[in-house]
Amino acid sequence: MPCYRCGARQTDPVRGASPWQRGVRNESQVLICPDCQRLHDHDLDACSTCGSAALICRLGEVECRSCGAVRMARSDALTVSVPPPPGLSAEVEAALNRVLGRA
């Protein structure tokens, strides 16, 4: 998974923990590269219990790694808006034309 902000690819560290930060943004898991971590304007989701941004998102739940609080991910962030069926605007236009007497 690349950095959500600049798109940089994660490289495996030679040793030790990865310097990449994990977080949750708009209900989805994101990774932040070391360069973007310095910018401090990530607009990450924060834990409603302790305010920590150290969250992990999985299976429709968001878990805080600082205090362990778990909440459901907002379902509205997961629903995909459905476009209107094709032809509707043509029907509406035809109906309007009938009403206005210019069919």
5 binds Zn ion (CB under 5 A): yes
Tell me whether residue 1 is exposed, middle or buried, using C-beta atoms within 10 angstroms of its C-beta: 0 to 12, 13 to 18, 19 or more. exposed
Distances (CA, A) of 94 to 66, 83, 87, 90: 59, 20, 11, 6
64 binds Zn ion (CB under 5 A): yes
Q: Which one of residues 24, 31, 44, 47 is an interface residue with Zn ion (CB under 5 A)? A: 47
- Three-state DSSP class for 87? coil
Report CA 9 to chain centroid distance, whole Å.
Answer: 19
67 binds Zn ion (CB under 5 A): yes
User: Would you say 48 or 97 has its CB closer to Zn ion?
Assistant: 48
> x/- site string to Zn ion, residues 17 to 36, per CB under 5 A?
----------------x--x
Which spans of this chain sit near Zn ion (rule: CB under 5 A)? 3, 5-6, 8, 33, 36, 47, 49-50, 52, 64, 66-67, 69
